[in-house]
Amino acid sequence: MISKKNKADVLLGLQWGDEGKGKIVDVLTPEYNVVARFQGGPNAGHTLEFDNKKYILHTIPSGIFHADNVNLIGNGVVIDPMIFNKELISINLPLKTIKNRLLISRKAHLIIPSHKLLDAALEHSKGESKIGSTLKGIGPAYTDKIARSGLRLGNLLQSDFREQYAILTESHLHKARALGFDTDTVKLDGLTFNEYEKKWFEGAEILKQFPMVDSELFVNNALNDGLKFLAEGAQGSLLDIDFGSYPFVTSSNTIAAGACTGLGLAPSSIGKVYGIFKAYCTRVGSGPFPTELFDENGHILRKEGNEFGSTTGRPRRCGWLDLPALRYSVMINGVTSLIMTKVDVLNGFDEFNACIAYIYKGGEIDYIPFEYDSEEIKPVYKTFKGWKASLEKFEKYDELPQTLLDYIKYIEDFTGVKVSILSTGPDRSETIMK
């Protein structure tokens, strides 16, 4: 008899990142056996709050705090051993426990210190038009992957790793100097290059102790064995290298297709696609953001939503929900179920807006044009009535204030997908299932 293979569910961000992926993955983890990251690296900052504690994960999947789960870092992820090691310490679990719960693909690429240096050099050379990168070395590491010159986790175990490392480092230093960048005085996360490199190799020794797997074999065996699998996206669809607001994007495929290439998952093995979005919009770094607010409302969203980057601490740009952009993300990912977060941040508004179309070159359009530039595009807004109430006492979806239910219904009709989960606060417990 042919056994029935399970499908893997995917959860990913539909905006410019920071939609609350970490919190929701942690909430959903008890329904799954395996949680896996498939792309991005330490540019991600996924926040989890429970038992009055707060954790920020960068490389480690957000299922790590559940004793019965396996977590996997897939081949599509880029890993900085120095940051990985810091993260291991920050999550405050015994190293032995983490080793029992975490597997890493030997095909995942390494971010080496000179990738970070090159990231800084490239941003510096761009001047005013810089991307606003997190400067974690993401772009240069993926560049090396595509250029077929990168180093992978499995290379760490080879006897000539130091030589491979030295050759790659030298080529990065050469490029950075050619950009006129001072490579002698550069600081990486506040450390000199040599100090960073020393900590990087210490981290690499720890990383080598983790079980290395071929994620494509692990994933498919797990599905064949009937295990339940959740793939956790990083960043958001509007930061996708192909479909985001290029060039103001990250360097990986953040969309559902990225779960296939970043884990070794066949497209036919994808089950549900959870698309997560905030009740408004935020963005860190540069790039178009048509609904960005520069007025008091923007300040309120930033203050109430505590909109400061989990990875860099930078204030996040805030604005109203952009529905044409959301619908685009729903389409590109084949979203089957929506998750709406940070609904509580709108509690104090008498009324608020959502963008339902754009004015572009004198006409109205309801899609994202190639020249997705905020100077050119003016949002068309629809105003919604607020609920002016705390959502703390609500546990059941149907009992929520009618004006909030009306807002959700409008979003569902606009995107064609139902909302299945609402998040009304940062804690695990502040979650309403429909």
Half-sphere exposure of 145 (CA within 13 A, CB side): 24
Token pair for 93: 């679990």
Q: Which is nearer to ligand IMO, 142 or 384 (CB)?
A: 142
Q: Which is nearer to ligand IMO, 114 or 134 (CB)?
A: 134
105 contact choice in ligand IMO, Mg ion, ligand GDP, none (CB below 5 to 8 Å, kind-dependent): none
B/e letters for 22-55, b = 16+ CB within 10 Å, e = fewer, are: bbbbbbbbeebbbbbbbbbbbbbbbbbbeeeeeb
Token pair for 384: 């919604």
Q: Which of residues 6-45 bind Mg ion (CB under 5 A)?
A: 18, 45
CB of 275 closer than 8 Å to CB of 282 = no
Omega of the bond prior to 247 within 30 degrees of 0, cis? yes
Indicate which single residue of 10, 12, 16, 19 sits in contact with ligand GDP (rule: CB under 6 A). Answer: 19
Catalytic residue among 18, 26, 80, 119: 18
Q: How far apart are CA 310 and CA 40, in angstroms?
A: 15
Q: Is there binding between residue 423 and ligand GDP (CB under 6 A)?
A: yes
Q: Is there binding between residue 46 and ligand GDP (CB under 6 A)?
A: yes
- Pattern 134-163, ligand IMO, x by CB under 6 A: x-x-xx------------------------
Indicate which single residue of 12, 13, 112, 245 sits in contact with ligand GDP (rule: CB under 6 A). Answer: 13
Which residues have a Cβ under 8 Å from the Cβ of 176 and sit 6 or more positions away?
114, 117, 118, 121, 183
Token pair for 66: 């559940």
- Pattern 313-352, ligand GDP, x by CB under 6 A: ----------------------------xx-xx-------
Which residues lie across from 34 on neighbouring strands? 70, 229
Q: Is there binding between residue 310 and Mg ion (CB under 5 A)?
A: yes
Count of residues touching ligand GDP (by CB under 6 A): 23
Q: How far apart are CA 324 and CA 126, in angstroms?
A: 30
Q: Is 18 a catalytic residue?
A: yes
Q: How far apart are CA 230 and CA 80, in angstroms?
A: 23
> Which H/E stretch holds residue 271?
strand 270-278
290 contact choice in ligand IMO, Mg ion, ligand GDP, none (CB below 5 to 8 Å, kind-dependent): none
235 contact choice in ligand IMO, ligand GDP, Mg ion, none (CB below 5 to 8 Å, kind-dependent): ligand IMO
Which amino acids are annotated catalytic?
18, 46
Q: Which residues bind ligand GDP (CB under 6 A)?
A: 13, 17-23, 45-47, 49, 305-306, 310, 341-342, 344-345, 423-426
Q: Which residues bind ligand IMO (CB under 6 A)?
A: 13, 16-18, 40, 43-46, 131-134, 136, 138-139, 234-236, 239, 250, 284-285, 310
